[in-house]
Amino acid sequence: MIPPSHPRYRSLMKREHLAHCAKNGIVSLEGLTAHGRGEAFDYLIGERTMDSALLAERTSAALLLSARQPVISVNGNTAALAAPQIAALQKACGAKVEVNLFHWTPSRVLAIEDLLRNAGSQVFSGTYEQLLPLPHDRAWCRRDGMYSADVVLVPLEDGDRCGALAEMGKTVIAIDLNPLSRTARTANLTIVDELTRALPQITRACTELTQSERDHLITSLDNHYLLTEAIREMTMRLSHALD
Ligand code: ATP
């Protein structure tokens, strides 16, 4: 039992939950180590949403709302940490929710789809084909889902898949606490924030933005600026860490 008064309560509860989800097959063991990398970066940014991330989250809402066929791609960690927040975002922006896994097995896909449905998402499922320009399992996706999407939100994606989607001409929005990762640098828009903080901010922006605000956010999108700002905010915090 972790007492709620513990200063790291939220973080410890997340770890315990992810460990449980690893035991029942939702989260891969590799997913646990990816979470650890994310936690380290979250420590560096002070476990809060930075100004640059908020701008990225609002821009992300604008892109999702303006898309012809937006898709939210969900992996094991995302489903385990944020299934209700995915459902809320789907309601706000009308995107398809599709399971896409790095460590792909049919039974894992079905288990994650069930988890998402139970949390309120309408999950886009059906036949998988090897359609992405990548070797082996990572090429799997659905023709009427991610393959046909114009805008794809990929929380916690790996660099290769992110690059493949961008090469296919899609607008790729990544959520990644590491502003230096290949994913962060390959995506068209990178949100350097923790998943469970980022998703509600995008959802809120979906309900708030006017058409002219959306247009302005999209035309002024500059991912290099957003990443540079994220690193600057991180560095500022680090340089005063022991004050
Ligand atoms: P890349 O292939 O993009 O260079 P990587 O090898 O780190 O990066 P993964 O191992 O797939 O890619 O790691 C996933 C990324 O997700 C990590 O960079 C980590 O910082 C990030 N991450 C993990 N958990 C969270 C979370 N809860 N919220 C936001 N980002 C997270």
How far away, in angstroms, is 155 Cα from ligand 1 center? Answer: 9
Mutate to test the pocket of ligand 1, among 13, 35, 44, 177 (most ligand atoms within 8 A of CB): 177
Residue 70 lies in a domain: yes
| pLDDT of amino acid 1 | 79
Does ligand 1 have an atom closer than 6 angstroms to the CB of 233? no
Number of H helices, E strands in the chain: 10, 7
Residue 7 lies in a domain: no
Residue count of the chain, please give it. 243
Residue 38: how many other CB atoms lie within 10 Å = 19
Residue 40 lies in a domain: no
Residue 23 lies in a domain: no
Convert the pLDDT of each residue in 2-34 to its tens digit. Answer: 889 888 888 899 999 999 999 999 999 999 999
* Per-residue confidence band for 241, with pLDDT thresholds at 50, 70 and 90: confident
Describe the strand order of the beta sheet including 151-155 as a list of residue ranges. 96-99, 70-74, 151-155, 171-175, 189-191
Q: What DSSP assignment string belongs to 88-110? A: HHHHHH--EEEE--SS--HHHHH
| pLDDT of amino acid 81 | 98
Does ligand 1 have an atom closer than 6 angstroms to the CB of 41? yes
Which H helix or E strand runs over 183?
Answer: helix 182-186
Residue 27 lies in a domain: no
**How many domains are contained in the chain?**
1
Cα–Cα separations (whole angstroms), residue 40 to 74, 86, 138, 176, 178: 22, 24, 26, 12, 9
Residue 163 lies in a domain: yes
Confidence check: pLDDT of 37 > 80: yes
Mutate to test the pocket of ligand 1, among 101, 158, 172, 202 (most ligand atoms within 8 A of CB): 158
Convert the pLDDT of each residue in 194-231 to its tens digit. Answer: 999 999 999 999 999 999 999 999 999 999 999 999 99
Confidence check: pLDDT of 137 > 80: no
The CATH number that applies at residue 131 is: 3.40.50.12640
Task: List the domain range (segments joined by +) for residue 156.
Answer: 51-238
Does ligand 1 have an atom closer than 6 angstroms to the CB of 28? no
Convert the pLDDT of each residue in 47-64 to its tens digit. Answer: 999 999 999 999 999 999
Burial class of 6 by CB neighbour count within 10 A (0 to 12, 13 to 18, 19+): exposed
How far away, in angstroms, is 30 Cα from ligand 1 center? Answer: 11
**3-class state of residue 216 by DSSP:** helix
Q: Which of 78-82, 93-97, 131-135, 181-185 has the lowest mean pLDDT?
A: 131-135
How far is the C-alpha of 201 from the C-alpha of 139, rounded, in Å? 30
| pLDDT of amino acid 70 | 98
